[in-house]
Structure 1
Amino acid sequence: MTESMVISVMKDAISTALTLSAPILITGILVGLFVSILQATTQIQEQTLTFVPKLIAVAVVGLITAPWMIHVMNGFTRRIFDMIANLIQ
């Protein structure tokens, strides 16, 4: 296994991880920002208020994007297995 192959695998792994985590992270950030703005305008300073909306939004986005995430992870796994098969030959 050459150095360029290792770099290629690591680059693919990092980009796949970022792609998979982006929808959930962006949702959490946007919901947190919205709740923070709502708290600032209404002057409600309850710290636990942000957790429930974030949890619900992240769960919904996770359920909606689960088939796509499985497809992306399946493609990455197939690429890795194909690379391993080519190394053995």
Structure 2
Amino acid sequence: MTRGITMGGAELLDIAREGFWVTLMVAGPALIAGLLVGLAIALIQALTQVQEMTLVFVPRIVIMFVVIAISLPFMGAVLGRYTEKLFSLIASGGFS
């Protein structure tokens, strides 16, 4: 037995689009910090001609962990809002 409430393609695309934005907002700060640190260290390595792989890897990981620790409340809030929205859509049977 099926219910009369259905979800169309447009609603599904809205949920998927919002999911991609949530992913970008949660992962973005750490990825941008890692990118900037990697570029800065690569520039320093090019200027000084020091080619050490751990010199790039370790600071990038440390900075990414620091950025994640600082932005953890923001990440939790964004994921919490998205999860609440999904659960309310599931409970209501679709878009209203």
TM tier, smaller: over 0.9
Per the normalisation by structure 2, the TM-score is 0.88
Q: How does 1:4-43 map onto structure 2 within 5 Å?
A: 4-43=10-49
CA distance, structure 1, for counterparts of residue 91 and residue 11 of structure 2: 14
Match of 1:52 among 58, 64, 74: 58
Measured after TM superposition, the shift of residue 85 of structure 1 is: 1.4
Instruction: Specify the code of the residue in structure 2 equivalent to 1:27.
Output: A
Aligned to 1:74: 80
Cα RMSD (Å): 1.4
| Normalised TM-score (structure 1) | 0.94
Where does structure 1 differ by over 3 angstroms across 4 or more consecutive aligned residues? none
- SS in structure 2 of the partner of residue 45 of structure 1: coil
> Which 5+ residue runs of structure 1 have no aligned equivalent?
none
Deviation at 1:47, TM superposition (A): 1.8
* Equivalent residues, number: 89
Higher helix share: 1
Residue 2 of structure 1 corresponds to which residue in structure 2? 8
Show the counterpart of 2:3. Answer: none
Aligned with 1:86 (options 75, 92, 96): 92
Using the alignment, how far apart are the partners of 1:5 and 1:83 within structure 2? Answer: 11
Q: Distance in 2 between matches of 1:24 and 1:73?
A: 16
Measured in 1, the distance between the counterparts of 2:69 and 2:52 equals 28
Return the offset for 1:54.
Answer: 0.2
